[in-house]
């Protein structure tokens, strides 16, 4: 991971590298120019030293000829040593342009030294005329050396004039180069600073935007920050926090949903218990009375009346005991037949009841009092209002992994909108002589029992009757039986 501190040091290092490169380049250029200038200056100094040394030789030789002492002779020898040394330095100044001039110049120095030595030799042999002639020759050579020095220096100045002009021109170019380098460094510095600021501000901007989204309650958007510094680590941590908060919210919502379903189950149970209590009125007294009436009717020879009273007692007992637990489809069919016996006694030929039952499906578990309220609605709305009565169809069949229960009637039917409202519980059907268990109560208890929506469907058209279809799953966990249902 490249930290922000590392990025800053990288920026500083890049600037120092650029500035160091420029400084080294300029220093190298100045050093070369200075070395060339020093070389030319050294040539001038060497030439001037030759003139000075030749003049000193003439001066010391004159003193020796006037007063031939060892001191003056030693001075001449020292001057000769000096001019010989300078002669070696001048020989190193030879190049392609001044080879001839410098060679003659060196020969003149040799001639001056030889003439001086001969003048000293003639003076020691007391040949003053020869010594004087040699002195004059040495003086003439010294003058010629001075003129030759000026000539060579003049040539050197002319040849160096181009060099100095180049130096002046290069100085101007160097100024322009310095300005361009300054502009280039400024541009590079601005670009580097902009890039560096973006690498920090852009992730921070994205992180700020993500924080704003979270503050508005949107926890489903992933936080992505493309960088490799501390901000990326902060974004990843922030995203983990978002995920944890989102999971916590989902968990709270699920718990709230479960709590709501539990409250709905409790309300339904209380409603069912209330309806049951309203219809009980003193169950033991009513059961005993019905049994007494049944026996009395049987003893009087009214067997049909006796069977009817037995059916009423069985229906009442089932209604009171089975509202809060699961039963088999077989038990529901038994109580349904008892109810239909009562209705047939009431409506006689006006009620036609047709059933088609697959007995292999009768062991399936369903909530108590599921079928009777639906049949009851069919009787109330399809048979009772019609003068000629009508027909009710009841079918149980198996279809793949579920059992299909169909209850149809030949009544006036209803609109699709009203059927949907009836399923949602926004329309309460007219109860008439019902047992008090509403259609929506049946739908909700089926949902609570199986945990599946849309188990009940209403197919109805105005003037074409109504068909209620219930799909019962055949695969169900054992622990979702009576105990679990009754505890909902």
β partners of residue 460 = 466
Segment 129-138 mean pLDDT: 87
The token pair at 268 is 């339904």
| pLDDT for residue 273 | 59
Collapsing DSSP to helix, strand or coil, 217 comes out as: coil
| Residue 364 pLDDT level (bands cut at 50, 70, 90) | very high
Mean per-residue pLDDT for 129-154? 83
**Tens of pLDDT along 5-20?**
676 777 778 778 877 7
pLDDT value, residue 392: 94
Q: Of 149, 148, 139, which Cα lies nearest the Cα of 49?
A: 149
Q: Is the pLDDT of residue 358 over 50?
A: yes
Of residues 25 and 353, more confidently modeled: 353
Would you say residue 215 has pLDDT above 50? yes
Long-range contacts of 329-332 (CB under 8 A, 24+ apart): 329/361, 329/362, 329/363, 329/364, 329/365, 329/366, 329/396, 329/403, 329/405, 329/472, 330/362, 330/363, 331/368, 332/366, 332/368, 332/369, 332/370, 332/371, 332/372
The 8-class DSSP code of residue 325 comes to S
**Measured distance CA(303)–CA(381) in Å, rounded:** 30
Query: CB of 358 within 8 A of CB of 472?
Result: no
Among 109, 111, 112, residue whose Cα is nearest residue 152: 109
pLDDT at 432: 45
Contacts of 151 (CB under 8 A, 6+ apart): 101
DSSP 8-state class, residue 348: G
pLDDT digits (tens, 9 = 90+) for 27-67: 777 777 777 667 666 666 777 777 888 888 888 888 888 88
Quick one: the chain helix, strand, coil %, rounded to 5? 70, 10, 20
Question: How much is the pLDDT for 3?
Answer: 66
* Mean pLDDT of the region 453-480: 81
Instruction: Note the pLDDT tens digit of each residue in 392-442.
Output: 999 999 988 899 999 999 989 888 888 888 888 776 545 444 444 578 888
Backbone Cα Rg of the chain: 64
3-state secondary structure of 357: strand
Sheet order of strands, 456-460 included: 351-357, 390-399, 402-409, 466-473, 456-460
C-alpha 434/C-alpha 430 separation (Å) is 9
CB 265 within 8 A of CB 488: yes
In this prediction, residue 160 carries a pLDDT of 63
Q: Are 395 and 406 in contact (CB under 8 A)?
A: yes
Res 393: pLDDT = 94
| Mean pLDDT of the 217-245 span | 73
406, β-bridge pairs: 395, 469
* pLDDT given at position 94: 67
Asked if residue 478 has pLDDT above 80, the reply is: no
With bands split at pLDDT 50, 70 and 90, how would you rate the model's confidence at 459?
A: very high
Tell me what the pLDDT averaged over the chain comes to.
Answer: 77
3-class secondary-structure state, position 340 = helix
Q: Give yes or no for residue 391 having a pLDDT over 90.
A: yes
DSSP for 124-182, written as a single string? HTT-HHHHHHHHHHHHHHHHHHHHHHHHHHHHHHHHHHHHHHHHHHHHHHHHHHHHHHH
User: Which candidate, 136, 111, 135, places its Cα nearest to that of 123?
Assistant: 135
Mean pLDDT of 57-86: 85
d(CA 466, CA 404): 16
pLDDT of residue 407: 95
pLDDT of 298 reads 66
Alpha helices in 328-451 (DSSP H): 329-347, 371-378, 416-424, 439-450
pLDDT of residue 409: 94
- For residues 118-123, average pLDDT: 86
Query: Higher confidence at residue 388 or residue 25?
Result: 388
pLDDT at 277 over 60: no
Rounded distance between C-alpha atoms, residue 112 and residue 146, angstroms = 12
Q: What's the rounded mean pLDDT across residues 164-184?
A: 76
Q: Which residue has better confidence, 375 or 242? A: 375
Confidence grade of residue 346 (pLDDT, cut at 50, 70, 90):
confident
Average pLDDT of the residues in 149-164: 70
What whole-number distance in Å separates Cα of residue 405 and Cα of residue 366? 11
Under the banding of pLDDT at 50, 70 and 90, the label for residue 487 is very low
What number is the average pLDDT over the span 84-112? Answer: 76
pLDDT at 482: 41
CB-CB contact of 411 with 485 (8 Å):
no
Average pLDDT over residues 380-392: 88
Q: How confident is the model at residue 481 (pLDDT cuts 50, 70, 90)?
A: very low
Residue 216 makes CB contacts below 8 A (sequence gap 6+) with none
- Within 8 A by CB and 6+ apart from 357, the residues are 333, 394, 395, 396
Element of type H or E holding 355: strand 351-357
Per-residue b or e along 140-166, where b marks 16 or more CB atoms closer than 10 Å to that residue's CB: ebbebbeebbeebeeebeeebeeeeee
Among 141-155, 333-347, 431-445, 451-465, name the one with the lowest average pLDDT: 431-445
pLDDT attached to residue 396: 95
Confidence label for 296 from pLDDT (cuts 50, 70 and 90): low
Q: Other C-beta atoms within 10 Å of 461: how many?
A: 14
- Quick check: 446 pLDDT over 50? yes
Model confidence at 286, pLDDT cuts 50, 70, 90, reads: low
What is the structure's pLDDT at 280? 46
Which of these ranges, 4-18, 109-123, 372-386, 462-476, has the smallest mean pLDDT? 4-18
Gap between the Cα atoms of 280 and 278, Å rounded: 6
In degrees, rounded to 5, the angle at the alpha carbon of residue 471 between the alpha carbons of residues 467 and 475 is: 165
């Amino acid at each position: 991971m490249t930290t922000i501190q590392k990025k800053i040091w990288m920026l500083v290092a890049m600037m120092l590298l650029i500035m160091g490169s420029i400084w080294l380049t300029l220093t190298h250029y100045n050093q070369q120019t200075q070395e060339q200038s020093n070389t030319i200056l050294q040539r001038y100094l060497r030439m001037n030293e030759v003139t000075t040394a030749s003049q000193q030789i003439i001066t010391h030789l004159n003193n020796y000829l006037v007063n031939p002492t060892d001191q003056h002779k030693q001075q001449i020898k020292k001057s000769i040593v000096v001019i010989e040394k300078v002669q070696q330095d001048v020989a190193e100044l030879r190049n392609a342009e001044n080879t001839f001039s410098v060679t003659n110049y060196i020969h003149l120095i040799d001639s001056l030294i030889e003439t001086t030595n001969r003048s000293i030799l003639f003076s020691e042999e007391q040949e003053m005329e020869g010594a004087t002639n040699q002195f004059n020759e040495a003086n003439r050579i010294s003058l010629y050396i001075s003129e030759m020095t000026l000539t060579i220096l003049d040539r050197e100045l002319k040849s160096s004039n181009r060099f100095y002009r180049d130096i002046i021109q290069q100085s101007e170019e160097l100024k322009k180069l310095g300005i361009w380098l300054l502009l280039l460094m400024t541009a590079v510095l601005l670009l580097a600073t902009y890039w560096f600021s973006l690498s920090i501000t852009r992730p921070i901007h994205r992180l700020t935007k993500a924080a704003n989204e979270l503050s508005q309650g949107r926890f489903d958007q992933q936080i992505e920050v493309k960088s490799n510094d501390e901000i990326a680590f902060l974004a990843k941590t922030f995203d983990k926090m978002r995920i944890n908060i989102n999971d916590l919210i989902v968990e709270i919502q699920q718990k709230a949903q479960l709590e709501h379903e539990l409250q709905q189950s409790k309300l339904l149970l209380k409603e069912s218990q209330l309806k049951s209590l309203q219809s009980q009125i003193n169950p033991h007294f009513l059961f005993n009375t019905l049994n007494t009436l049944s026996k009395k009717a049987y003893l009087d020879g009214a067997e049909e009346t006796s069977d009817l009273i037995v059916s009423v007692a069985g229906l009442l007992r089932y209604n009171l005991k089975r509202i809060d637990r699961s039963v088999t489809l077989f038990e529901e069919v038994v109580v349904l037949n008892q109810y239909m016996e009562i209705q047939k006694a009431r409506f006689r030929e006006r009620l036609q009841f047709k059933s088609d039952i697959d007995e292999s499906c009768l062991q399936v578990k369903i909530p108590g009092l599921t079928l009777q309220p639906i049949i009851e609605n069919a009787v109330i709305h399809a048979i009772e209002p019609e003068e000629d009565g009508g027909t009710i169809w009841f079918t149980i069949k198996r279809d793949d992994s579920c059992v299909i229960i169909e209850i149809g009637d030949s009544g006036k039917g209803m609109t699709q909108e009203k059927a949907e409202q009836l399923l949602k519980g926004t329309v309460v059907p007219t109860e008439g002589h019902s047992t008090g268990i509403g259609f929506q109560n049946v739908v909700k208890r089926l949902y609570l029992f199986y945990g599946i929506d849309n188990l009940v469907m209403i197919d109805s058209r105005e003037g074409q009757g109504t068909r209620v279809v219930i799909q019962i799953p055949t695969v169900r966990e054992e622990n979702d039986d009576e105990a679990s249902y009754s505890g909902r």
